[in-house]
Structure 1
Amino acid sequence: MTAVQFDTVTPATRTLLAGSIVAAPLFAVVSLTQAFTREGFDLLRHPISMLSTGDLGWLQITNFLVCGALTVAGALGLRGALRGTPGGTWAPRLILVNGVAMAAAGILVMDPGDGFPAGTPLGQTGTMSWHGLMHMVAGSIAFTALIAACFVLGRHYSRAGRPGFAAGSLAAGLIFAFGDVWAMTGGRAGSLTLCVGAITAMMWVAVVAADKRAAS
């Protein structure tokens, strides 16, 4: 099978691709720094999204909004870099959906619960608010789109004759899918597996963006 040949990316595309390159490490650093420093937060039982609650919640809300915008920019860059190649239509679209849904998840704040923020009673706190419910919807859309994008990128790299990158894409999608399903089914430390899966997939998209940005 003949490997797909890629066009040289334009300066504008390179600039947009930088969005995806920055988004993943920025989101990980800001989220994990808070996870290990904010009083009462336990990554084994509290989802990263719960950091949007409390007096310092604005930090994670801003993190969601900024990284969502950077992801959207990166998706537009990938659309230019992947144009005319297998997966070149759907991978950027799915990453675009992921970015928009991530920003929406920042606006639609999750409800406090299970001891966080500090002083919140343990366990469920009662009826879920409308914005808490919509946060879950936005999060589910973001997760599904990112997992699907990893699988589409796997097909893209497989058709391009790059098995290493194809395997990396598939692995990132599977790790995120496992983490999501494990968390949704109440698996032990599900918040941690979901966090690891999400950051892994985001980091892989950053690797893909860097790969395409370096194309010549």
Structure 2
Amino acid sequence: MNQEGSIMRAEKNREGSIMRAEKNQGMEQSVVTRLLIAGGAIGPLLFVIVLLIEGATRPGYSAWHNYGSSLSLGAQGWMQIANFIVCGLLTLGFAIGLRRVFRTGRSSVWGPILLGVFGVGLIVAGVFVTDPSLGYPPGTHISGPQTLHGTIHGVNAIITFGSLAIACFVMARRFAGDPNWKGWALYSIVTGVLVVMSFIAATVVSALDESGVLPGSPTGLLQRIGIIAGWGWIALMAIRILSKMRSQVPAREGMSES
């Protein structure tokens, strides 16, 4: 009997150790996931703040007229380059966190993948700097010669903005079938359309500006509308997920203590 009791106690201790290990692992994964999702709230805020402040204070630069990428040029260009890379890494982390949160169901794979592509595109935009355009930096022509890194930057911009817009449409499918995300399907579709239209409009008026048809075009303003709309969508989604995760923590802790 004593031997059987010892065996039973040993078995219970082993099961308890396994449960504690699984609990600790789950808590660690939860913390990591929250940190990754938090990057989706921090990145957009950081990017927009740097873009607006630099655009308002950079000598010779016009936020109304010039592309945001043009802030990567000149002596202070490193600030926007760093902005691209840091926010790209934060967005990539958010995409990983989103996949950990949305493990199954519609868009659980392609939504995070497309946002990951968007994050990588931001990093590429920082590495391959744009060419001078629309008279910035001061002293350059409205339409200057194309370089290899400038061409890569331009092609990458299409992929980057395109992946963000498609991510909005893909995630809208998921939100449409989830009562916990009421209204987000429409919001996602509107954001995706706004990102696409903003990119197209900025490209068209920029081309008209370079050809002399529309000098002083609002290229920068049109681009910023799409940028802020897209970043805002990511930030609000991240904040909503974090809020839901926080509301679930007390319940889990209460269950573990009982």
- TM-score normalised by structure 2 residue count: 0.76
Match of 2:134 in 1: 114
Cα offsets for 1:95-144 (capped at 9, x unmatched): 000000110011100112332122324x112x200000000111111100
Report whether the alignment pairs 1:156 with 2:207: no
Inter-partner Cα distance in structure 1 for 2:32 and 2:76: 36
Q: Is the 8 A contact 1:179 1:190 kept in 2?
A: no
How many residue pairs were aligned? Answer: 207
1:6 aligned residue: none
For the 8 Å contact 2:135–2:143, the answer to whether it is kept is no
Q: Which runs of 4+ in 1 moved over 4 A?
A: none
Q: What's the counterpart of residue 23 of structure 1?
A: 43
In 2, Cα distance between equivalents of 1:110 and 1:49: 6
C-alpha distance in structure 2 between counterparts of 1:207 and 1:152, whole Å: 17
Q: Aligned ranges for residues 93-112 of structure 1 at < 5 Å?
A: 93-112=113-132
Query: Aligned match of 1:199 in 218, 222, 228?
Result: 228
Q: 1:179: which partner in 2?
A: 198
- Structure 2 match to 1:141: 159
Question: Take 1:209 and 1:153, find their aligned partners in 2: how far apart are those partners?
Answer: 13
Equivalent of residue 189 in structure 1, options 189, 195, 218: 218
Aligned-partner residue type, residue 67 of structure 2: P
Q: Kindly report the root-mean-square deviation, in angstroms, between the aligned alpha carbons of the 2 structures.
A: 1.6
Of 1, 7, 11, the residue aligned with 2:31 is 11
- Which of 197, 213, 216 is equivalent to 2:242? 213
SS of alignment partner, residue 39 of structure 1: coil
Which whole-Å CA distance do the structure 2 matches of 1:50 and 1:131 have between them?
13
Question: Could you say which structure has the higher helix fraction?
Answer: 2
CA deviation string 1:49-71 (max 9, x = no partner):
00000000000000000000000
**Larger radius of gyration between Structure 1 and Structure 2:** 2
Q: Deviations over 1:29-85 (max 9, x none)?
A: 001101111011112221000000000000000000000000000000001111102
SS class of match (1:117): coil
In 1, the alpha carbon distance for the partners of 2:97 and 2:224 equals 26
- Residue segments in structure 1 that go unaligned for 5+ positions in a row: 1-8
Tell me the CA shift for residue 152 of structure 1: 1.3
Unaligned runs of at least 5 residues, structure 2: 1-28, 207-216, 249-258
The SS at the match of 1:10 is: helix
Q: Distance in 2 between matches of 1:169 and 1:113?
A: 32
Partner AA of 1:79 in structure 2: R
Residues of 2 paired with 1:114 and 1:180: CA distance? 16
**In 1, Cα distance between the equivalents of 2:165 and 2:114?**
9
User: Following the alignment from structure 1 to structure 2, what is the Cα–Cα distance between the partners of residues 87 and 37?
Assistant: 41
Alpha-carbon shift at residue 163 of structure 1 (Å) = 3.3
Matched-pair contact (CA < 8 Å) for 1:111–1:128: yes
* Partner Cα separation in structure 1 for residue 50 and residue 204 of structure 2: 27
> Partner of 2:68 in structure 1?
48
* Residue 186 of structure 2, aligned match among 163, 167, 180: 167
Is this contact kept in 1: 2:188–2:233, CA < 8 A? yes
* Matched-pair contact (CA < 8 Å) for 1:14–1:77: yes
* Letter aligned with residue 172 of structure 2: G
Q: Deviations over 1:119-175 (max 9, x none)?
A: 324x112x2000000001111111000001111121111110333122211111111
